Structure 1
Amino acid sequence: MTTTAVWQTYPVTPDRFEDFADVVNPNRRETHCWCVSHRLGAREVAGLGGREQAMRTLCAREIPPGVVTYRDGEAVGWCHISPRADIARLVTSKLIRPVDEVPVWSIICTVVRGGRRKQGVTAHLIEGAVAWARSQGAPAVEAYPVDPPGRMDLTMAFVGTRAMYERAGFEVVGVTDATASKMPRLVMRRSLVT
């Protein structure tokens, strides 16, 4: 008898920090990614006590920096999503400019826990992130994936692909001046206003 997995997605609040870390940095290495560079400069990170502590600080904010997705109680995915206005690198970007005045929420990173890839996590992760943004009053969610002509270099998989977001109901609304592995990044949006 087959059982259906139970999927849940929650904002990464301080009580869920260890679950987030288990997904993005299971060995807790300070020099590895803690997903803070799009929000804080090096001086801010240092002033907060390093990358891990900086991310802990972000998780304690009123609007945490993203969500963690669980399958049957195990943390299996992370999505960095919040209002675009809260993501300093996007606010100041000359390459990924707003396409209009809509106060969108932005997805800038998705991570699937090692050993859990190719198991449908990303689809549940994006749906959970979009649902959370909707519950917080977001009018739309944007992502900035690449549009590779063939198979994508797996070292760049964190940026996502057009097809992944199309399956989640996103539509292309623009092209950025940014590239990843010489491939253009798109602006894809899912409207949450009915």
Structure 2
Amino acid sequence: MPIDIRPATVFEDTAAVLGPKNPDANACWCLSYRLLPKENRDLQRTARGERVRGLVQEDPPPGVLAYDDGVPAGWAGIHPRADTSFAATRKIPHLDETPVWSLWCVRVRPGHRGKGISHALVNGAVEFARSHGAPAVEAYPVDNRGAKVDLTMAYVGTRSLFEAAGFTMAATTDSVLNGFPRVLMRLDLTP
């Protein structure tokens, strides 16, 4: 069965990919870039999951999910940049006034890796943004030049993952993750 990409509108499926095993753990829930820094810092433990429960009910929801044979297997966080912490960061440049969408997280659950789900998530996230009128999508992956990236830091993706989806490098950044520079990749969606 092919990988199915759907908007993240079902909390239980989103929690299966993003939530911690212990509901009281202080996990990211992919909120670090979605929220402004103060709100992100203030939300603790179960409140983080409850915040995601609210976000999946919004239009548009906070990202897309990948289903592998009907099982929630992956996530891509994508939303208008203006609604993310990237709107205020100084480390990742703003190229112009285009109301771009940011794709900041690509995560595949253990047991589902090695099946091309990351590629499907990036492509599905782009189509999701396109369907909501996005003129362009930006991503901020590491430029690892083929070197191994620690799995805990691989959520931002790699330059080659986004190049495979048609993104081009638009700018360098002042951001570094896991010892690798992050680059600004962009895909224009206008005809």
Report the TM-score, using the length of structure 1 for normalisation: 0.88
Whether the 8 Å contact between 2:8 and 2:61 is mirrored in structure 1 is: yes
Instruction: Work out whether 1:27 is the aligned partner of 2:25.
Output: no
CA contact (8 A) 2:136 2:190 kept: yes
User: Does structure 1 residue 189 correspond to structure 2 residue 191?
Assistant: no
1:177 paired with 2:177, answer no
Task: Tell me the amino acid that sits aligned with residue 23 of structure 1.
Answer: V
2: CA distance between counterparts of 1:152 and 1:19? 29
The answer to whether the 8 A contact 1:21-1:28 is kept is: no
* TM superposition shift of 1:56: 1.0
Per mean C-alpha deviation after superposition, the further-off stretch among 23-32 and 50-59 is 23-32
* Paired AA for residue 122 in structure 2: I
Asked whether the 8 Å contact 1:144–1:159 carries over to 2, the reply is: yes
Amino acid at match of 1:122: S
Structure 1 distance, partners of 2:109, 2:136, is 26
Secondary structure (helix, strand or coil) at the match of 2:97 reads: coil
Identity value in percent: 44
Give the superposition deviation at 1:44.
Answer: 5.2
**Among 65, 74, 78, the residue aligned to 2:71:** 74
The C-alpha deviation readout for 1:125-150, integer Å capped at 9, x for no partner, is 11111111100000111100111134
The residue number in structure 1 matching 2:165 is 168
Q: 1:43 to 1:77 in 2, by over 3 A?
A: closer
Tell me the SS of whatever aligns to 1:50.
helix
TM-aligned CA distance change 1:70 to 1:49, over 3 Å: closer
What is the deviation of 1:28?
A: 4.6
Unaligned runs of 5+ in 2: none
Q: Structure 1 residue 11 and structure 2 residue 2: aligned?
A: no
Q: Structure 1: any 5+ residue segments left out of the alignment? A: none
Moved more, 99-108 or 19-28: 19-28
- Per-residue deviation at 1:159? 1.6
Q: Is the 8 A contact 1:24 1:34 kept in 2?
A: yes
Q: Measure the CA separation in 2 of the matches of 1:63 and 1:138.
A: 12
C-alpha distance in 2, partners of 1:43/1:112? 25
What is the aligned-residue RMSD (CA, Å)?
Answer: 1.8
Deviation string 1:62-91 (CA, Å, 9 cap, x unpaired) is 22111111122221110000100111x111
**Which residue of the partner structure matches residue 121 of structure 1?**
117
**One-letter identity of the residue aligned with 2:181:** P
TM-score when normalising by structure 2: 0.90
How far residue 33 of structure 1 moved from its aligned partner, in angstroms, is 2.3
Q: Is the 8 A contact 1:10 1:69 kept in 2?
A: yes
